[in-house]
Amino acid sequence: MYQRELKIQKGLKNKVQLQFKNSDQKLLNVSTGSFVFSMFDDTSQRQLIRKDVSIVDNGITTSTRGLALLELNESDTLDLDTGFYKFTVASYSGGSYEPTYADTYYGISGTLEVRQDSYPTLKPSLELAANGYATGFQMTYNLDIGAQRYEYYSGNLPAHPEFNGNAALHTVAFYLTRFKGTVKVQGTLDNTPEQFGNYVTLATKVYTGLSGIDYVNFNGIWQYVRVIYIPDKNPVTQDNGNSETAYRGTFDKLLYRC
């Protein structure tokens, strides 16, 4: 075959031309041959891809002598990590496999690098649990005569205005369990917003016992966004504010993407 390191692009269709030569570097007639490509993790020796190789050599045309074509579809590499792997190409004949050699020193495996240069990596959404991670929800009691209940404020969630255009789309998903109450999504242009700073409400949702996932979309360039959820009181017991989860359910977590 050949001695160069292979480079393939993750998530794209890759066509790799293979060339077969003898020990004197003369092109071989492989028009009647049958070859199988195998790619594996060098550490665990786990096979990741196995593909038949298409023969280009027709046994007549000089320009195609010794040529074969390996085609890797998008799905073949989509779940692979970027990095280096080993590969072999074996000749199949008479019910058995025989090695081909990747270099002039009779090494049967070559090196292949999986790269991802053609499109950006999708970043995970920001996840915030209601029982608090590093910047979880802060419980605050609203003493206003019309409220007198607990309100739960998320931290300031970066909205990355430097990456967004004028129609920047934001999505916030809420994970709820029998939740009764109100959820507000707010945004600010302040660089260092305080808890009761210059936030404006962008969306309001009212729930009467939803279990599942709901979401809101909104557009705009914001420095930060935050989410406030305000559980309902039990109208019978007034439950010392609104801490009676048996009545008002739970706000479990949120996912935010901008």
pLDDT(28) > 50? yes
Same domain, 99 and 155: no
Quick: pLDDT tens for 44-87: 889 999 999 999 999 999 899 999 999 999 989 988 888 999 99
pLDDT(3) > 70? no
Quick: pLDDT tens for 176-189: 999 999 999 999 99
| Calculated CA dihedral for residues 243, 248, 249, 250, nearest 10 degrees | -50
Sequence letter at residue 30:
V
The vertex-143 CA angle with 141 and 148, nearest 5°, equals 75
Nearest-angstrom CA–CA distance, 181 and 147: 12
120 domain-assigned: no
Same domain, 27 and 85: yes
- CA distances 252 to 115, 127, 136, Å, are 38, 11, 11
Q: How confident is the model at residue 165 (pLDDT cuts 50, 70, 90)?
A: low
CATH number at residue 145: 2.60.120
Q: How confident is the model at residue 23 (pLDDT cuts 50, 70, 90)?
A: confident
pLDDT(204) > 90? yes
CATH number at residue 46: 2.60.40.10
Same domain, 170 and 77: no
> Taking the complete model, does pTM exceed 0.75, yes or no?
no
Average pLDDT, the chain: 86
Same domain, 73 and 185: no
Residue 53 sits in which domain range?
6-115
Number of domains in the chain: 2
Same domain, 130 and 251: yes
Same domain, 131 and 180: yes
pLDDT(225) > 50? yes
| Residue bearing the bigger pLDDT, 50 or 103 | 50
- The per-residue pLDDT for 234 is 87
pLDDT(238) > 80? no
pLDDT(120) > 70? no
144 domain-assigned: yes
Interval 39-48 mean pLDDT: 88
Same domain, 154 and 253: yes
- The per-residue pLDDT for 196 is 65
- The per-residue pLDDT for 171 is 92
Same domain, 94 and 180: no
Domain end call among 84, 115, 146? 115
